């Protein structure tokens, strides 16, 4: 199944390290970070799960719930968590889904059909409170995911959601942002009281709102 930006994130009911959960119900009105792993006990993914665990406060202040998935069983996940906590020094208290039948990874198009073992692609999905897909990224096995970048993207998505602004290339938090060109000109002064700089009719910068 192909998942496109703006699509409703497919719902599922599954076993996880924190019990059985209904995905949409578990998300509630939060944003979601769903990220997949080829299998348990892989070195790069061990570091990634530890980093996400250590970023718990950063995700929480952005109202983001993290959830991981691989096609190994629950017992394997529990053992792997012990390794992660020992090696990375992080308490993994977000759920890891046990998708042994590969139903969820197939639903989200995460299954690598070119792998002889049908390993899961290392995918990232950011899901909005409306349960729609806001971002997808696929990483190769050898490259660790940059969760600072993922937090940056979440910040940008939330600014767009709340203020209808866009972020320029290489934007970092508190940099200037771009006003959405679709906003009527007669609304600009009221909506952007910090002022704005018009470079072109379609390119207007304003200090980051909020």
CA distance 160 to 156: 6
DSSP 14-64: EEETTEEEEHHHHHTTSEEEEEE-SSSS-HHHHHHHHHHHHTHHHHHHTTE
Distances (CA, A) of 59 to 46, 68, 136: 19, 14, 18
Give the H or E element holding residue 178. Answer: strand 177-179
The more confidently predicted of residues 96 and 113 is 96
Delimiting residues of CATH 3.30.1020.10 domain(s) in the chain: 164-206
Output the pLDDT for position 110.
86
Say if residue 115's pLDDT is above 60. Answer: no
If you average pLDDT over residues 41-46, what whole number do you get?
A: 93
The CATH fold of domain 13-145: Glutaredoxin (3.40.30)
Instruction: Provide the strand spans (E) within 37-156.
Output: 64-70, 96-98, 122-127, 133-139
Token pair, residue 153, equals: 């993207």
Ramachandran class of 109: left when φ > 0, alpha when ψ lies in -120 to 50, beta otherwise: left
Summarize pLDDT for 54-82 with one digit per residue, the tens: 999 999 999 999 999 998 999 999 999 99
Residues above pLDDT 70, as percent of the chain: 95
Angle, nearest 10°, between helix axes 43-54 and 74-88? 70
Per residue in 122-159, pLDDT (tens digit) is: 899 999 999 999 999 999 888 999 999 999 999 999 99
| Residues with Cβ within 8 Å of residue 174, at least 6 apart in sequence | 208
pLDDT at position 36 over 70: yes
Mean per-residue pLDDT, 111-120: 60
Cα-based angle 67, 71, 72 (whole degrees, multiple of 5): 100
Options 3.30.1020.10, 1.10.10.10, 3.40.50.300, 2.160.10.10; CATH for 164-206 is 3.30.1020.10
Nearest-angstrom CA–CA distance, 11 and 210: 32
Size of the chain, expressed as the number of residues it contains: 210
CA 125 – CA 161 distance, rounded (Å): 17
Q: Where in the chain is the domain with CATH 3.40.30.10?
A: 13-145
DSSP conformational letter for 134: E
Q: Which of the residues are catalytic?
A: 45
Residue 174 has pLDDT above 90, yes or no: yes
């Amino acid at each position: 199944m192909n998942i496109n930006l703006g699509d409703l994130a497919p719902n599922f009911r599954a076993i996880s390290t924190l019990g059985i959960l209904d995905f949409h119900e578990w998300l509630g009105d939060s944003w979601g970070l769903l990220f997949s792993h080829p299998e348990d006990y892989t070195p790069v993914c061990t570091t990634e799960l530890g980093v996400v665990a250590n970023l718990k406060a950063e995700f929480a202040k952005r109202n983001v719930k993290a959830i991981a998935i691989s096609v190994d069983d629950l017992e394997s996940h529990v053992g792997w968590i012990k390794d992660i906590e020992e090696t990375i020094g992080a308490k993994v208290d977000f759920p890891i889904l046990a998708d042994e039948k590969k139903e969820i990874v197939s639903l989200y198009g995460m299954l690598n059909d070119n792998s002889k073992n049908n390993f899961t692609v290392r995918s990232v999905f950011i899901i909005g409170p409306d349960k729609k897909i806001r971002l997808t990224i696929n990483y190769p096995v050898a490259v660790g995911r940059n969760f600072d970048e993922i937090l940056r993207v979440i910040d940008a998505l939330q600014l767009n959601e709340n203020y209808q602004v866009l972020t320029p290339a290489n934007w970092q938090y508190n940099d200037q942002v771009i006003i959405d060109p679709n906003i009527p000109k007669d609304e600009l002064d009221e909506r952007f009281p910090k002022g704005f700089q018009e470079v072109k009719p379609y390119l207007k910068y304003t200090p980051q709102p909020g």
